Structure formats: structure tokens, C-alpha cells
Structure 1
Amino acid sequence: MKFLEYTPLDSINFFLSHVSLGECTLKGNLEAYSCKHTGLDRKLSLSLEHEILDYLGRSSDSDSPSPTDYLSSRSSRKTLIYLVLTLGHMYPDYDFSAVQAHHFFREEGWESFKQIFDTYMFEASKEWTVANGGGSLLESLSKAVDEVVKLADCEIYSYNPDSDGDPFLEKGAIWSFNFFFYNRKLKRVVSFRCCCLSNLAAEGFLVDEMLNEDDDAEVDIFDDMDM
């Protein structure tokens, strides 16, 4: 996987880097990746493939039903591996499991993506219209993504992990969503992640940090005193 720089994404990323919405702040970005493997990706791909095949083998020996039909397809496993590799490049400090990620990915249609976007990005879209003298944030975003991966030929996936396995969550996060636009022919992926953070929670976090620093300072002072 290789990070790709595309100018059409820049203006949207600049806007989404910090959208102040009163008591909360919205942050998001778009990233484009080539699915062509580097040396490290090839090794990781093989590891993920073996993990999936081992899971399929264990599932076939089990009496309990499991959703393995999707993973039984070589093409589907390849898609899943590309998506997991993309996650790995986005969050290099997090170790993603293909089998676990499989349960969190869901294929979406454009209409379902649009509905989620309109619901969560309503206030941000109004800010975009004001900042840009009109125009739609969704239209601008879809046009930019289309230039990179040709939306008509894309498969769209959402990624919704549970709280224990979610590297996206930040301190004070109210909500977050993660989408991936995958063009099988072009072998490219565009990720779109966004989260809304509570300013009050963030301020409380800073206060806690300051108090902890003060406590540490007091300990250091008393450590130097003879009792």
C-alpha cells in the first residue's frame, strides 16, 4: 500500500481538520492509497491470508454457525486484506486482525452513505456553505473522491468496531464514522473518517492533566525535604 497525494482532496481536508460547532469540534480527513503491495505489505498480506484460512478451517470443524461464506471467496478475502492493510497504514501503532475486522466491515450503497453523511454532517455542511459562498459539502466531497477512484466503479464499506477495538475514538468523542471507497479495477482505496469531539470533555481532560502535573511537582518537592 502506498499513500497517494491528490490535490482534489486538499481543500476538503483543510476544512475538516477543525470545524468548530459551538460545544463540539468536528475533525475528519480523506486519504488515498494504492493497493499495490510494498515488500512489507506482501509479508503482512500472507499473514492475514493464513489467519483467515485458519479461521475458516476452525469454523468448518465447529457445530456452531459462523458467517464464513464471504471469506470463502478468494476475491472477498483479497478485498478484506486490502481494507485491513489500509487501516494499518492509517494507524501504524494498532495491530489489526483480519478476522476481527471482518465482523466490523459492512458493505454500503451510495444512498446509505449519503443518509449517514446527511445525518452526522448536517451542521458541518452548513459551515462549508458559509465558508465557500454556497455549494454542497457532499457534492464537493463526492466530486473529489470521484476524481481519485471513480465512484461509479467503487464498492463502499463502513467500519464500525466495538469500543474495545476502536483506534479511532479520541478523548471526548461523541460519535465517529469510517468509510472506505474501493475501486477494484484501479486498485485504489479512499478512506473517509470523521469524529465529533466534545469541547467540554477536552477541556476537562486538560484540567486533569494539569492537576496531575501539579501533584507530581508536589511529590518532587517533598522528595527533596528531610522528614
Structure 2
Amino acid sequence: MLLGEGEAADAKRRLLERAGAAVVGEEGNARLAVIAIEDEAEALAAVERLRARGLLVNAVDRPELCDFTLPAVVDRAPVLVAIGTGGVSAGLAAALRQRLEALIPAGLGERARALFVARDSLRARFPDPAARRRALGAAMAPGGPLDPLGEGDAEAWLADPEPAEPASLRIMLASPDPDDLTLRQARALANADRLYYRPGVPPAILSRARADAERIATDRPPAAGVFLEMAPETAA
């Protein structure tokens, strides 16, 4: 459901129709409502009226009245990147979308479909899930054949995928800020199956690892694996 007229309402209509929604007026049957009404009192009345009908409501430019928000979307179907700010700044979300549009190749969706088609052959080539994950992680690294932001030869790699050795790296952190990680360090964290770290490594750094990676606090570096510790002057 869409209520309102003018530029804001027209923009929301285009967004809803692009997503495949059947846009109806207030008398129509709907579960979600977008209210693009400029007058404050009229907009508030519409919110209360539609909520009383059991609808979830998005009130344009009024985040405090929203039950849901509409993110800015970069569409590389089947790959979708959504940027949301919880309704705080639609302009910021739009600016980020414009930057990402320039960075993400138009053919990324085709690469995703090729990976889907190749899933059985990849499982046969790498029956161990950890080995398969490492191989894909190495191929998708910057400059790799499956780099999501690059133009590598994905077809050739999928025809003969290369294995990747388990990450083995000792990282001495000079800063607790995850943005200070080097590309190599960030890649090692993202691909590690187990992450070893000395107590004192901040959670913000540990969060850069995969969500399902095992995290092991220890004072003894492992024989192999990714081991994190703070530089002495930083820990002090």
C-alpha cells in the first residue's frame, strides 16, 4: 500500500514496483504500507489508522514512526547488496549505493550463477568443507580468479579449481582498531577455521573472523594457524 503524492511518493512507487510489489491504495488489501505524506498531522493520522488495521508502516522521513525501513539496493541478481541506516539518513544510504554501483561489476550475478552450477563438482574436488572453503576464499581474494570486484578468469578456475593451504600466520597487532589490519591480515582472519589469540585482543578484531570460526584464547602460539597478539607497547 502506498499513500501520498509527489516526488517522494513517486520514488517509493518505482522502488516497490521494481521489487515486484502490487501497489494499492488505502482501500486495497495489503500487509505493508508506505506513507509519503508531507503534512505532519495527516501523516500521523494515516500511521495510526493503518496500524489499527494490523499493517506494518513506513513513514517517509519519519524514522520514529517506522515499523520497517527500505534500504538502498545494489542489484546484481541474484546478488543483492542492501544499505540501510534504520531510516536515519536515506541520503547516506543512497550515496553509498552510488559508490558501490561503480565498484561492483555488472557481471557479478553471472559469476554467482556459475558458482551455483559448479557446486557439485566443487564438493567432489574438495570433499572436506574446510578445504573447499579455503580454496574458494583464496580464489575470491583481491586479484584472484573469483575476486568479486575483479575481472578474473572464473571459468578457467571453476574448470580446474586449485587447493589452498591452511592459513599459518602470527599477527602482532599494533592497534586495537580493525581498520588498521592489512589486507593480508584481514584475509587470513576471514579464511581461518580456528583463530588463536592472546587475552587482550579486542573483540572488534576477533569479529573480523568468520562467524563460525572457532576462537581459542591461549598464551601459547600454535604450531600452525592464525595467532593474534597485541604489540607490547599497545597492550600496555
Tell me which interval the TM-score lies in, with the shorter structure as reference length: under 0.3
Bigger relative contact order, structure 1 or 2 (CA pairs below 8 A, ≥6 apart)? 1
TM-score (norm 1): 0.24
Higher helix share: 1
TM-score (norm 2): 0.23
